[in-house]
Chain A
Amino acid sequence: MRTLQGIAVSPGVAIGEALIVDTEGFRIPRRFVMRDAVEDELQRLNKAIDAVADQISRNRDAVTAQLGDQCGAIFSAHLQMLRDPSLLAEIEGLIRKKHYSPEFAVSKTLRRFAKVFQDLDNVYLAERAHDIVDIERSLLGKLLGESREEFSHLSSPVVILAHNLTPTETAGLDRRFVLGFVTEIGGAGGHTAIVAKGLEIPAVVGMGRFLTDLSGGELVIVDGNHGQVILQPDEETIARYRHEVEEHHTLVAQLGELRELPAVTSDGTDIKLFANIEFPREAESCLERGADGIGLYRTEFLYLGAKVEPTEEDHYEAYAEVIRQMQGRPVVIRTLDLGADKLGTLPQGEQNPFLGLRSIRLSLRNLPLFRVQLRAILRASVLGPVRIMFPLISTLADLRQAKMVLADASEDLDEAGVAYDHDVKVGMMVEVPAAVTMLDKFLKEVDFISIGTNDLIQYALAVDRGNSEVADRYQASDPAVLRLLDQSLSAARAAEIPASVCGQMSGEPRYTMLLLGLGLRTLSVPPSAVPEIKKICRSVSIPKCEEVARRAMTMENAREIDTYLREELRKVAPELGTN
């Protein structure tokens, strides 16, 4: 048994067989061959070896011709490795005696050798592990050929262990078969993390290198609550986690009973619980969870998933699907909130992407792209109550320009005689400290605000939470953050403008009483968090929350505040107090 620590990005526990996806994307399932197929399988292996040998010889000749014998010699060494008697004996042994498939035997054997190399004291030789991985890939490439497995072809439940999963790949995971996933790279703020949470697949990222000595098929536990990955767990550990999974199911079932009930406090105050989504198909789980609407529909995936810029129709279809599914409940659509790097339009590298050309700044710099999105949102507004939200507004000029582009788009539609809701509500994200400071001015020009705590915390505390050197300074409960929230909510109340909070903070049970106590009446949370937060709302009274908020606001550091809030949560909802 081995326990490894990574970064927890999507809660829950998964127990299952490992499916390895390395940097090249080869997926090596543990497979066995029938006894009478062993000879055929060995032939298949030999053919693959011959084919790879041909390929290496050609590379060697080409390299030698161009760069000389010294460089060509490394390919001669590869060829020698490929024909290595010890190696072949080991692979053949696994196929003959254990009836492993050639793919599995190759992967297992070469990874074992790579591991031995890696562990050598000799740095130069340790580096040669790459050469072995290279040969493994070439062989697997030949063996798997066209039959390479895709995630969409999974037919039995697995835990995916990958070097990396792109947001698009993650979005394509089939929840019936992917119990959980773990990646070597990635951080808490990555899009992959957000998607995993959206799909409610337990996930741990940022593990560092750990795939080299695994070949797939091993039993793995992914603990998405604590960011731990347990390889080949012992019986006791398995039993403990199985118990945890069962308890979780019981809790989910209990919370499920709240679906039809309103989020109303014990003293009768109505709270609106909206959900944050990425993909149209998540709308269904919002309804299942009893959400009052979509408080944040992130539209970045229209851009990230596509190889070409999305058309107006692409936008429209996605929005229309969500609005129809939500059956008259409000849908807040946020315009593009991406860094320029993600669109590949950046002329040169930015030193400081988070302070650079991103989000609304990028939209205002690329008006044609921005107009396409706004036209699509406007057209979709006839299908149900749509609200438009601009992200990363930092100056009044940002807001006014964005509204002007929207007005232009409306006029175009008028001229073309296309129907849209003329009273579509327009709001802004409050996520830059400058906007908090100037909020009274902004509130005269918007219909609603939504406080994006993720960015607000990062900008207020000057911390990149993806940087492990300083990530511990990223605290939603920092007193400075609480003051910014308090200021924003007070200003909105004074101006009688609806305010919500849509960052991760609003989905975390320990902050619910605090937020209600600060005067918040609308929370937008991941769909999976709706039942929990509803349960808390129904268990507390506003005077009690106000008392908790007052007390928290007197404290001087995040840890003290967190400890206090956890205690208070335990008092009202002990079963939710574990995180």
Chain B
Amino acid sequence: MANKSGTRVVTVTNPEGLHLRPANALASLAKDFNSTIQVSHRGETVDGKSIMSLATLGAGQGVRLTILATGDDADDALDAIEALFAAGFGLNEESAQDTNHTTGR
């Protein structure tokens, strides 16, 4: 596995911050990649595949988060995550679809 790594800074745009559903969307997406995903906020770094850890960051609207991805698909992961933030976590009609694929296991 080629170990590449990269970082990306993203902004939380939705009004209620990175609450459970956005955190769920992010963790689900992160799990689709082989790379480890780490999310940092105010010096605290947590596992991007852990909804609980993401939510406990308590990141409100307007907060900027640093995403660090390490692994063979690091770039793809960062692109996808950036798109997710840009779309406001798709928290309208598609949000449930975003998350459904994690539930079959």
Q: Which of A57, A73, A113, A122 contacts B24 (CB 8 A)?
A: A73
Q: Which of B46, B49, B56, B97 contacts A117 (CB 8 A)?
A: B56
CB closest residue in chain B, given A135: B52
Query: Is there an interface contact between A122 and B51, defined as CB atoms closer than 8 Å?
Result: no
Give the contact stretch, choosing among A74-82, A431-439, A467-475, A545-553. A74-82
Query: Is there an interface contact between B96 and A69, defined as CB atoms closer than 8 Å?
Result: yes
Binary per-residue interface labels of chain B (4-34) against chain A in the complex, 1 for a CB within 8 Å, 0 otherwise: 0000000000001101110110011000000
Q: Give chain A interface residues in 219-278, CB to chain B under 8 Å.
A: none
Query: Is there an interface contact between B96 and A73, defined as CB atoms closer than 8 Å?
Result: yes
Given A69-B96, A77-B24, does the pair A84, B51 have CB atoms closer than 8 Å?
A: yes
Bound-state CA distance A76–B91 (Å) is: 13
Give the contact stretch, choosing among A39-47, A123-131, A555-563. A123-131
- Of B46, B52, B53, B93, which is in contact with the most chain A CB atoms at under 10 Å from its CB? B52
Bound-state CA distance A125–B93 (Å) is: 22
Binary per-residue interface labels of chain A (419-444) against chain B in the complex, 1 for a CB within 8 Å, 0 otherwise: 00000000000000000000000000
**In the assembled complex, B3 has its CB within 8 A of some CB on chain A:** no
Query: Is there an interface contact between A74 and B19, defined as CB atoms closer than 8 Å?
Result: no
Q: Give chain A interface residues in 89-130, CB to chain B under 8 Å.
A: 113, 116-117, 120-122, 124-125, 128
**In the assembled complex, A147 has its CB within 8 A of some CB on chain B:** no
Q: Give chain B interface residues in 85-105, CB to chain A under 8 Å.
A: 93-97, 99-100, 102-103, 105
Query: Is there an interface contact between A76 and B56, defined as CB atoms closer than 8 Å?
Result: no
5 smallest A-B Cβ distances: which pairs? Answer: A69-B96, A76-B99, A120-B58, A86-B50, A77-B24
Bound-state CA distance A317–B34 (Å) is: 72
Bound-state CA distance A122–B56 (Å) is: 10
Bound-state CA distance A68–B96 (Å) is: 9
**In the assembled complex, A156 has its CB within 8 A of some CB on chain B:** no
Q: Which of B47, B56, B93, B96 contacts A64 (CB 8 A)?
A: B96
**In the assembled complex, A83 has its CB within 8 A of some CB on chain B:** yes
Residues of B within 8 A of A84 (CB): 27, 50-53
Query: Is there an interface contact between B52 and A113, defined as CB atoms closer than 8 Å?
Result: yes
- A residues bordering B, Cβ < 8 Å? 57, 60, 64, 68-70, 72-74, 76-77, 79-81, 83-87, 113, 116-117, 120-122, 124-125, 128, 131-132
- Of B27, B55, B102, which is in contact with the most chain A CB atoms at under 10 Å from its CB? B55
Given A76-B103, A124-B16, does the pair A86, B97 have CB atoms closer than 8 Å?
A: no
**In the assembled complex, B71 has its CB within 8 A of some CB on chain A:** no
Query: Is there an interface contact between B53 and A77, defined as CB atoms closer than 8 Å?
Result: no
Residues of A within 8 A of B94 (CB): 69
Query: Is there an interface contact between A122 and B17, defined as CB atoms closer than 8 Å?
Result: yes
CB closest residue in chain B, given A126: B58
Query: Is there an interface contact between A60 and B19, defined as CB atoms closer than 8 Å?
Result: no
Query: Is there an interface contact between A69 and B19, defined as CB atoms closer than 8 Å?
Result: no
Bound-state CA distance A255–B103 (Å) is: 67
Residues of A within 8 A of B103 (CB): 57, 60, 76, 79
CB closest residue in chain B, given A76: B99
- Of B17, B59, B97, which is in contact with the most chain A CB atoms at under 10 Å from its CB? B17
Residues of B within 8 A of A83 (CB): 102, 105
Query: Is there an interface contact between B56 and A81, defined as CB atoms closer than 8 Å?
Result: no
Residues of A within 8 A of B23 (CB): 77, 80
Q: Which of B24, B56, B59, B93 contacts A80 (CB 8 A)?
A: B24
Bound-state CA distance A72–B99 (Å) is: 10
Bound-state CA distance A86–B30 (Å) is: 14
Bound-state CA distance A120–B56 (Å) is: 8
CB closest residue in chain A, given B46: A86
Bound-state CA distance A40–B15 (Å) is: 45
Question: What are 13 A-to-B residue pairs whose CB atoms are below 8 Å?
Answer: A76-B100, A76-B102, A76-B103, A77-B21, A77-B24, A80-B51, A81-B51, A86-B46, A86-B47, A86-B53, A117-B55, A122-B16, A122-B60
Query: Is there an interface contact between A80 and B55, defined as CB atoms closer than 8 Å?
Result: no
Q: Which of A76, A87, A120 contacts B96 (CB 8 A)?
A: A76
Nearest CB in chain B: distance from A302 CB, A: 48
Bound-state CA distance A84–B48 (Å) is: 11
CB closest residue in chain A, given B18: A125
Bound-state CA distance A197–B49 (Å) is: 52
Nearest CB in chain B: distance from A381 CB, A: 65
Residues of A within 8 A of B17 (CB): 122, 124-125
Query: Is there an interface contact between A87 and B58, defined as CB atoms closer than 8 Å?
Result: no
